[in-house]
Amino acid sequence: MTHAEKEIRNEEMRLYKAEGHTMQEVADKFHLTTATVQLICKGIAPQQRIVSPPNKGVLKSDNEVAIFIAQKLEGFSYAGNYTGADGRVDLKCDKCGTIINRSMISVRHSNIRCNECYNTEIEEQKRKTENRRAYERNKRQTKADSNKFNRVSQIQFNVCPICETVFYTTYSQQIYCSKECYKKSYLSTQGSDDRLNKSNIKDRGITLKKLYERDEGICQICGKKCDWLDYYYNDNGIFIAGNNYPSKDHIIPLSKGGLHAWDNVRLTHKHCNELRGAKV
């Protein structure tokens, strides 16, 4: 097709479009795509919509339109002002009662939305989201306040039995104010002896627990079982061992040159050890 023939065809297309035909009808007549027709006939009578097929030009009754809309749309009903299959129609939202005017093309594609209901749903969703966030913030704050109260309520004031210093703690089993006082206490000296010096130290691996296991918990003086549970804490929180509590006894006393060695230690009751010490 020459350039002159194309100009003649394009002019015929513009005249056909100016008569009120749709872009699709022009494209079908001249065997072109809709995009090409839109480019050639751009700006020609866009407001005129004369439908060429006879069945599309016939206006339906209000009852028929109402039935059609009820089949196509959910939540909307016919409200009048029907202007044809390619025209427009008034619809009533069943939820909020708002009257909206939409094209019949949108009705056929079921692409209708009530802006009032949509905005209300958006606001409701925002309100729910804000309420949920406020609830989570209050929950976290309540938990933080509860933890803070628990920490404060767990603070206790104790008196160190070694240096008699008043101190506070959140650990109910803490007796001593510092590690230095703990080192001076009876509990920390279970596996050592102040009487040991450079001349008689031989085995610092000797502990009361290991000695208990070696002698099977039997007092080597009276032959009865030692009791680990025979102890208590006095009012000042000081550990007090009972008569049957296990203890280390040096067969040859350290004061008489005995060594702190496995062959010179034995397991005894605290009471038996004290009686023997009084006799030695």
Final residue belonging to a domain, choices 113, 130, 159? 113
Q: What is the pLDDT of residue 266?
A: 92
Q: What is the pLDDT of residue 267?
A: 92
- Residue 165 placed within a domain: no
Query: Are residues 59 and 36 both part of a single domain?
Result: no
Per-residue pLDDT band at 11 (split at 50, 70, 90): confident
- Residue 69 placed within a domain: yes
Query: Are residues 215 and 246 both part of a single domain?
Result: yes
Q: What is the pLDDT of residue 49?
A: 43
- Residue 175 placed within a domain: no
Distance CA 48, CA 20 (A): 5
Q: What is the pLDDT of residue 173?
A: 67
Query: Are residues 206 and 229 both part of a single domain?
Result: yes
Final residue belonging to a domain, choices 93, 113, 133? 113
Split into its structural domains, the chain has a count of 3
For the stretch 78-97, pLDDT in tens is: 888 888 777 888 888 888 88
* Cα 224 to the center of its chain, rounded Å: 58
Closest Cα to residue 84, out of 33, 144, 22, 177?
22
- Residue 93 placed within a domain: yes
Query: Are residues 33 and 65 both part of a single domain?
Result: no
**Residue 263 falls in which region: left (phi positive, over 0), alpha (psi -120 to 50) or beta:** alpha
Q: What is the pLDDT of residue 225?
A: 92
Q: What is the domain extent for residue 271?
A: 195-279
- Residue 142 placed within a domain: no
Query: Are residues 239 and 204 both part of a single domain?
Result: yes
For the stretch 258-275, pLDDT in tens is: 888 888 899 999 889 888
- Residue 200 placed within a domain: yes
Q: What is the DSSP string of the chain?
A: --HHHHHHHHHHHHHHHHTT--HHHHHHHHT--HHHHHHHSTTSSTT-----SHHHHSPPPHHHHHHHHHHH-SSEEEEE----TTSEEEEEETTT--EEEEEHHHHHTT----HHHHHHHHHHHHHHHHHHHHHHHHHHHHHHHHHHHHHHHT-EEEE-TTT--EEEES-TT--SSSHHHHHTSSGGGTT--TT--TTTB--TT--HHHHHHHTTTB-TTT-PBP-TT-EEE-TT--EEE-TTSEEEEESS-GGGT--BSGGGEEEEEHHHHHHHHHH-
For the stretch 133-191, pLDDT in tens is: 999 988 888 888 777 656 555 566 677 777 777 776 766 667 778 877 777 664 444 44
Contact 100, 66 (CB under 8 A): no
Q: What is the pLDDT of residue 59?
A: 66
pLDDT at 255 over 50: yes
Alpha-carbon dihedral sign for residues 266, 271, 277, 280: negative
Distance CA 183, CA 186 (A): 8
C-alpha distances (whole Å) from 143 to each of 132, 148, 189, 263 are: 16, 9, 43, 59
C-alpha distances (whole Å) from 108 to each of 100, 143, 158, 193, 218 are: 16, 55, 84, 100, 99
Final residue belonging to a domain, choices 84, 113, 142? 113
Query: Are residues 223 and 270 both part of a single domain?
Result: yes
Burial 260-274 (b: 16+ CB within 10 A, else e): beeebbbbbbbbbbe
- Residue 101 placed within a domain: yes
pLDDT at 232 over 80: yes
Locus of tokens 């989201």: 129
- CATH number, residue 225: 1.10.30
Q: What is the pLDDT of residue 280?
A: 56
For the stretch 33-81, pLDDT in tens is: 888 888 888 766 444 444 444 444 456 788 888 888 888 888 888 888 8
- Residue 89 placed within a domain: yes
Q: What is the pLDDT of residue 58?
A: 53
